[in-house]
């Protein structure tokens, strides 16, 4: 089925979709806001089912195809949404010569740096294709975590201490342009997130706990923060029902994320799970005393 390009003066919206639930949420929310989003699903990454949306699949590095699609479909606004687990090697990235010439920093960037610089590069390339790159929250502002308690339970005094400890670690990791998550149990940092991601880190906490290498008497807290140099248009820290499920398995007391700079997926379902399990979920405002929790 071929959709006509949007007649909106803002041009049609495209969602470049990686792993996870987020791209589908953004697509649905955009549709409810009157958009006709084009889904550009990244091969081996996108795993959502985009029924009812015009969907094209392409390779992660196949920028020439993406450029052609954006032009042919009248796309003027692009959202990058969902994870990209496999980092494209520079040899897999095929921009057109024309695009490269417009963004001379691209080759430099491809040869160095952390995740952020690759994202920045992708954003520059898409902008060089004549599109605006938006954050998911600009289309679905409700996705951003709010300050304070989310759900029925609040962190205890011990939990606040763990939040503080894990925050300090997550902040330093962010400065190193790696990970966004840390787990503290009983005032002791036990796990730091690298390339493996939050779910794997929590699985590690489950095993360490089973082996007695983490106290089973203290619960502990997962904190996810933005990197200080975080590109708000991609890769915001995200929590949702699966994060809560994994935190429960890991025996944690709760989860804290950065308010306004983290996405909450399927909030109702997530809260229901957390409430039943007695888990707290909260949004931190680093500008407020105790993160805005008291």
Binding residues (CB under 8 A) for its own copies: these are 85-87, 89, 112-115, 168-169, 172-173, 175-179, 183, 187-196, 200, 204, 208, 211-215, 217
Min dist CB 83 to its own copies, Å, is 10
Q: What is the 8-class DSSP label of residue 7?
A: -
Q: What is the 8-class DSSP label of residue 19?
A: B
Say if CB 237 and CB 257 are below 8 A apart. yes
Tell which residue, 85, 10, 72, has the closest CA to residue 45: 85
Cβ-based neighbours of 89, under 8 Å, separated by 6 or more: 61
Min dist CB 69 to its own copies, Å, is 24
Q: Which is nearer to its own copies, 201 or 282 (CB)?
A: 201
Min dist CB 113 to its own copies, Å, is 7
Q: Which is nearer to its own copies, 89 or 142 (CB)?
A: 89
Q: Other CB atoms closer than 10 Å to residue 122's CB: what's the count?
A: 26
CA distance linking residue 291 with residue 293, whole number of Å: 5
Reduced to 3 states (helix: H, G, I; strand: E, B; else coil), residue 160 is: helix
Min dist CB 79 to its own copies, Å, is 23
Give me the phi and psi of 276, to 5 degrees please: -60, -40
Q: Which is nearer to its own copies, 139 or 214 (CB)?
A: 214
Q: Which is nearer to its own copies, 9 or 112 (CB)?
A: 112
Q: Which is nearer to its own copies, 30 or 205 (CB)?
A: 205
Min dist CB 49 to its own copies, Å, is 22
CA distance linking residue 14 with residue 78, whole number of Å: 5
């Amino acid at each position: 089925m071929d959709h006509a390009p949007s007649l909106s003066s803002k041009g049609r919206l495209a969602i470049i979709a990686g792993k996870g639930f987020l791209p589908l949420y953004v697509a649905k929310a955009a549709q409810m806001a009157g958009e006709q989003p084009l889904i550009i699903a990244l091969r081996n990454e996108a795993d959502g089912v985009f029924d009812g949306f015009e969907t094209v699949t392409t390779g992660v590095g196949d920028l020439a195809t993406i450029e052609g699609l954006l032009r042919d479909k009248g796309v003027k606004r692009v959202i990058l949404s969902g994870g990209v687990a496999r980092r494209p090697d520079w040899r897999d990235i095929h921009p057109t010569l024309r695009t490269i010439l417009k963004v001379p920093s691209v080759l430099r960037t491809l040869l160095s740096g952390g995740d952020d610089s690759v994202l920045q590069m992708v954003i520059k390339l898409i902008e060089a294709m004549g599109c605006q790159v938006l954050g998911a929250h600009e289309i679905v502002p409700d996705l951003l975590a709010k300050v304070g308690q989310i759900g029925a339970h609040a962190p205890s005094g011990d939990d606040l201490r763990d939040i503080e400890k894990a925050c300090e670690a997550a902040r330093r990791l962010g400065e190193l342009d790696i990970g966004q998550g840390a787990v503290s149990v009983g005032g002791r940092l036990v796990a730091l997130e690298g390339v493996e991601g939050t779910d794997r880190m929590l699985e590690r906490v489950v095993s360490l706990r089973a082996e007695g290498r983490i106290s089973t008497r203290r619960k502990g807290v997962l904190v996810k923060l933005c990197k200080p140099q975080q590109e708000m248009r991609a890769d915001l820290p995200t929590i949702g029902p699966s994060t809560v499920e994994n935190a429960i398995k890991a025996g944690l007391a709760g989860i804290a994320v950065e308010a306004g700079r983290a996405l909450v997926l399927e909030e109702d379902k997530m809260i229901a799970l957390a409430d039943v399990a007695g888990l707290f979920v909260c949004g931190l405002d680093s500008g407020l005393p105790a993160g805005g929790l008291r």
